[in-house]
Structure formats: C-alpha cells, structure tokens
Amino acid sequence: MNHSLTLGLRAMRETLRTPDSLVPTLLIPLFFLVVNIGQAGRIFPSDDTDFLNGQNYAAFQLPSSLLLAASFGGAALYLVEEIEGGYFDKLRATPIPRMSIVLGRLYAEFVKSVGITALMIAISLALGVRIESGVAGFVLLVVMVSIWAMVFSGFMQLIALKTRSAAATQAGGLVFFPLLFLTPNFVPRNLLTRPMEVAATLNPVTYVMEACRSLILDGFDATALGKGAVVIAAAGALMLGLSVRLINRYD
Amino acid sequence: MTNGQAEHPSAIRAVGLVKTYRGSTGEIEAVRGVDLEVRSGEVFGFLGPNGAGKSTTVRMLTTLMTITAGSAHVAGVDVAADPDGARHKIGVALQEAGLDPRQTGRELLTLQARLFGMSSSEAAARAEELLELVELTDAGDRRIKGYSGGMKRRLDLASALVHRPDVLFLDEPTTGLDPASRLTVWAEVRRINQLGTTVFLTTQYLEEADQLCDRIAIIDQGRIVREGTPSALKDDLARRRGDGTTPTLDDVFLDATGRTRVQVDGDVKEIQA
Ligand SMILES: Nc1ncnc2c1ncn2[C@@H]1O[C@H](COP(=O)(O)OP(=O)(O)OP(=O)(O)O)[C@@H](O)[C@H]1O
Ligand SMILES: [Mg+2]
C-alpha cells in the first residue's frame, strides 16, 4: 500500500512532466462532444425529445465523451516504455510486492482522470448542461468515471505486461475501442435498431454509460447506478486478479 | 545466517543452474548446469562470448528470472524460496542501464531507497551520499534524459547500492564507456569492494577481469569451461602449451571458448578440450 503510493506519486510527477500527453486525452473527447452536438442537436430539440428530460443534447452525449477520455490507457503506455527501457527490472529488484508497481500507476491514473473528468464536466456546464443529481451527483459521476479509467488502463497494463511491446499495447487498446461505441451513445437503448440493441445490452460498458447518464438527466436512479456499480466492480475484480497473476509470474 | 554456512561464508553458491527459454521458435537452453562458488569479499569475474548465458545467469541469481532447474543462494538466502529476503542483500546493475529519463538522478535514488524501506529523510540523505560517491552531485537535480552514457552507468551503479547490499552484481558495467570513464568505474568497484561488498561482474574486457577480479569463470554456450584466479588460468595454459611463451588472459579466453568448438552443419557442437 505504502509502496504503491510512493510509486503513484512518481507516476503523477511523470504525467506532470509530460503535459503534452494530456492534450489528446482532453481534446479528442471534447471534439467528439462538440461535433456530435452540432450534427444531432437539431434532430433532438430539448423541448420535444422525451429522453432528454428538458435538457439539451449535450447532456445526453456527455457520458460518452467522459468514458472516451477515460479510455486512453496512458498508464499502460508509460509502463510498457519502462519495460522496454529496463527500469521495470530495477523496480522488480526491490523487495516490494510486485503488485505495487501496477497499483501505483493505477492510483496516478485515478487522480489524472479526476482532473480531466471534472474539467470536461465544467466545460459542458458552460454549454448549458445541468447535473440533475446536484453536487453529490457530480462527485459521484467524477468518481465513477475515474474508477472506470483505472479499470480500463488496468486492462491495457495487462497487455503491456503480456506483450512487453509498445506497438502491441497501442494496438491492443484498439481491441477495446468498439466496446465504447457498441453502446447507446447516440440514443437510448430502446431506440436502437435490434442488432445494435442486442450488442449494447450484452456490452458491459453500456451500464456504466447509463449510470453516468442517469446522474445527469434523472437524478439518483438506484437501478441504473446499481448496474453500473456491479459492472465496474466485476471488471475491476477481474482486472486486479489477472494483474496479480501476470505480474507475479513475470519472468 | 542460521543455515550452517557460517564456516564457509560463501557470498554466492549456485548448483546445477539451468535456464530454458520458451520462445516461438522452440526452446533455447541458455544456461545448462552452472555451478558457482563465490567467497565473501571477492571480486568475481564472469566472462564469455556474446550469448554465452552471462546475463541470464545474473538475472537468475538476482531474483529477476525464474530458475528452470538447480538452486542458488546469495548471501546465504535461497533466491527462489525467499526472493524478498535475497533482494535486501543484493544490488544489481543490469546490462541495459534501465533508468527513468523523466526523473532527476536524485529522485531516482531517493525513490529506490524508499522502496527498500527507508524513511524519506533517510532516503534523501542516502541519495546525497551516493551522488557524491559517483560524482554526480552537480547533475543530481537534472533530468536523467540529459545524462551522458557514462553518467547513466554511474547513476545505475549508485542505484544498486542504495540499501548497502552484501553482494553487488554488475552486468557489463563498462561496456560503451570511454577509457577515462572505465577507469572511474574500476576505481569505484574497488572502493565498494574494500568496504566489504562482494562483487560479481560480467565483462567482455579481459583486461578488466585481469585488473579487477580475484577469480574468474568463463562460460560458453551455457556451461562453465574455466574457473580460477587469472594467474592460475594463465599458468595452466602455459603448462599445457609447453612452448615457453607466456599466455595472456585473451589466450586463455580463446583457448576456452574457441578451440573447444567445431562447426558441424551450422550446428554448434561441444568437444571436450
Ligand atoms: N528473453 C529471452 N528469450 C529467449 N531467448 C533469450 C532471452 N534472453 C536471452 N536469450 C538467449 O539466451 C542465450 C544467452 O543470452 P544471454 O543474454 O544470457 O547472453 P550473454 O552472455 O549475456 O550475452 P551478451 O554478451 O551478448 O550480453 C542467447 O542465445 C540469447 O539469445
Ligand atoms: Mg549479457
């Protein structure tokens, strides 16, 4: 725990020293947000679209952008650089639990995501979005997205540990990408075409997105939040279990 | 140490070490039954041609890689059974000086000391001390990214020493260094050894082994082919040659690794000398 924090602080220092790496994480999701609102905003006017609860379309789109920003897996790219460069072995030569090396990076990823998520929500407030669930809902939204960012980059770190190659890790991230879009990211699930509805229903990311959206549009919806929490907890447990296995057997 | 090794304080003892890599192209037997006995306080040289298995042996002895067969004790600790116990007693600088380019030298040393369990003030003091030892005090607060190859090597050496290890492993500590930097590293190795640290170093430079090492072993294709003090190995070769010439360590190396092999159908076969 202690060592994970020490390594987490070091990973944060690393991020702060490479601020350039934050630019795409922030700009690409904002770009999609603005473009999607611009293109679909007139199809879904706020006073005439049921699922918007009186808000504008940006409120509906925001969760997709937040989850996109949480899915860059920056931690894994630093990790693989460290494996390729050999510094990883120097850390492995110390008497710390192997898992702290993974956890340290995940903690830093959480902090980074809190900053980015809060900033993106602040920007969308300026675009007229309101958080129906209030300040407590805002905090919950930021925490939920940031834990998801940890889980996602944890899976990317698994690829990094397995392949030990930067190119493979980047390519591996693309495998997860469809999961972000096989979701009800433009309209609610019941308005999707049948095949898409099935895909979205099977896709766990859907429930994280719907939980986030419920905080923005509806207030506190126990069912939606519960499903989101279960998905995040299950994915997190799987990621941690696999990480422990992989890093303890790293050879 | 309670395991009865007190009468024969051996810093490193390996018995029948084997490492088999499993790759896409099948299995590679990189180390094929290496026995080593390094006494406490020695500087021990580990020589061998490229691909002989030096780094693989170092990685097994330093807990960084699993041992396929055989056993190894370092400073009395079984590296496979108690890796964390061994890590407290082992310092290691690997062949590719793996450093984090985004930290400063001081930050890297402090972090390493923290991970070995020191408090932040102890770690800061130790980092300062080590920067002085390897003459990097002035560069200590610059990012490692801007260090020269020699500076990186010295920082790597310092980082292997944060926890005052009993046994220091150096994998090709002077490869790629200019002659002056090489002499600096030699001086540092001697100083560290005089303070009581056993040093196990691999090298491609026979002169380095001759200058620094009390005893050496030569490994070829995963097997130890010679072992002894440099002078004993030279004497042995002189006796076997019997032509009155005085062999150098280079001759010993070539004799040990060159003439014991013949190429057969592109496959390398071992012949006993
Ligand atoms: N990770 C690995 N996977 C597969 N084979 C490996 C791996 N690492 C080393 N080898 C092989 O094992 C053998 C021994 O390699 P090793 O790096 O131990 O040699 P070395 O004596 O340190 O050589 P050098 O002087 O070039 O550093 C070589 O044939 C090498 O190709
Ligand atoms: Mg090597």
What is the percent of chain A where pLDDT is above 90?
Answer: 75
Per residue in A89-138, pLDDT tens? 999 999 999 999 999 999 999 999 999 999 999 999 998 999 999 999 99
Chain centroid to CA B167: how far?
10
**Cα of B60 from ligand 1 centre, angstroms:** 12
Residue owning the nearest CA to atom 28 of ligand 1: B51
pLDDT of B73 over the 50 cut: yes
Kindly report the nearest CA distance between residue A241 and chain B, in angstroms. Answer: 21
Ligand 1 nearest-atom number relative to CA B219: 21
Per residue in B174-212, pLDDT tens? 998 899 989 989 999 999 999 999 999 999 888 899 999
| Structure confidence at residue B259 as a pLDDT band (50, 70, 90) | low
Specify the pTM: 0.90
pLDDT of B56 over the 90 cut: yes
pLDDT on residue A50: 86
Q: Which chain B residue lies closest to A4 (C-alpha atoms)?
A: B115
Residue with tokens 């810093």: B11
Residue owning the nearest CA to atom 17 of ligand 1: B55
Chain centroid to CA A239: how far?
14
The 10 Å CB-count burial string (b at 16+, else e) for B110-135 is bbbbbbbebeeeebbebbeebbebbe
Residue owning the nearest CA to atom 7 of ligand 1: B21
Chain A touched by B111 (CB under 8 Å): yes
Ligand nearest to the CA of residue B29, numbered in listed order: 1
- Who's near A214: CB < 8 A, 6+ residues apart? A220, A221, A224, A225
Q: How many domains are there within chain A?
A: 1
pLDDT on residue B251: 87
**Cα of B271 from ligand 1 centre, angstroms:** 22
Burial of A242 (0-12, 13-18, 19+ CB in 10 A): middle
Per-residue pLDDT averaged across A167-185, rounded? Answer: 87
DSSP conformation class of A70: T
Burial of B59 (0-12, 13-18, 19+ CB in 10 A): buried
pLDDT on residue B136: 95
Ligand nearest to the CA of residue B223, numbered in listed order: 1
- Pairing type for strands B198-203 and B215-220 reads unpaired
What is the percent of chain A where pLDDT is above 70?
Answer: 100
8 Å CB contact of A90 and B103 = no
Q: Which residues of B touch A86 (CB under 8 A)?
A: 94, 96-99
Per residue in B24-52, pLDDT tens? 888 999 999 999 999 999 999 999 999 99
φ, ψ (nearest 5 deg) of residue A212: -60, -45
pLDDT of A74 over the 90 cut: no
Lowest mean pLDDT among A190-199, B37-46, B55-64, B244-253: B244-253
| Structure confidence at residue A1 as a pLDDT band (50, 70, 90) | low
Chain A touched by B102 (CB under 8 Å): yes
pLDDT on residue B63: 97
8 Å CB contact of A89 and B107 = no
Lowest mean pLDDT among A150-159, B6-15, B148-157: B6-15
Give yes or no for a contact between B54 and B94, defined as CB atoms under 8 angstroms apart: no
pLDDT on residue A108: 95
Kindly report the nearest CA distance between residue B51 and chain A, in angstroms. Answer: 18
Per-residue pLDDT averaged across B75-92, rounded? Answer: 97
Chain centroid to CA B160: how far?
12
Ligand 1: list residues with CB < 6 Å: B 21, 23, 28, 30, 48, 50-56, 95
**Rounded distance between C-alpha atoms, residue B120 and residue A83, angstroms:** 26
Structure tokens at B15: 């018995």
Chain centroid to CA A100: how far?
21
Range of the domain at A109: 2-248
Chain B touched by A16 (CB under 8 Å): no
Distances (CA, A) of A2 to A8, A54, A89, A94, A243: 10, 47, 20, 14, 19
Q: How many contacts, defined by CB atoms under 8 Å, are there between A and B?
A: 66
| Structure confidence at residue B265 as a pLDDT band (50, 70, 90) | very low
DSSP conformation class of A191: G
pLDDT on residue B17: 97
Using CB atoms, which residue from B65, B92, B98 is nearest to A85? B98
**Rounded distance between C-alpha atoms, residue B65 and residue B57, angstroms:** 9
Q: Which residues of A touch B62 (CB under 8 A)?
A: 93
Chain B touched by A94 (CB under 8 Å): yes
pLDDT on residue B241: 86
Cβ atoms < 10 Å from Cβ of B146:
10
What average pLDDT is seen over chain A?
Answer: 93
**Cα of B116 from ligand 1 centre, angstroms:** 29
Structure tokens at B14: 């390996």
Ligand 1 nearest-atom number relative to CA B49: 25
Per residue in A17-55, pLDDT tens? 998 888 888 899 999 888 888 888 888 888 888 899 889
Kindly report the nearest CA distance between residue B111 and chain A, in angstroms. Answer: 8
Cβ atoms < 10 Å from Cβ of B86:
24
Q: Which residues of A touch B102 (CB under 8 A)?
A: 13-14, 17-18
Q: Which residues of A touch B114 (CB under 8 A)?
A: 3, 6
What average pLDDT is seen over chain B?
Answer: 90
Using CB atoms, which residue from B85, B96, B115 is nearest to A86? B96
Chain centroid to CA B34: how far?
15
With H, G, I as helix, E, B as strand and everything else as coil, classify residue A50.
helix
Indicate left, alpha or beta for B51 from its phi (over 0: left) and psi (-120 to 50: alpha).
left
Structure tokens at B239: 């006796």
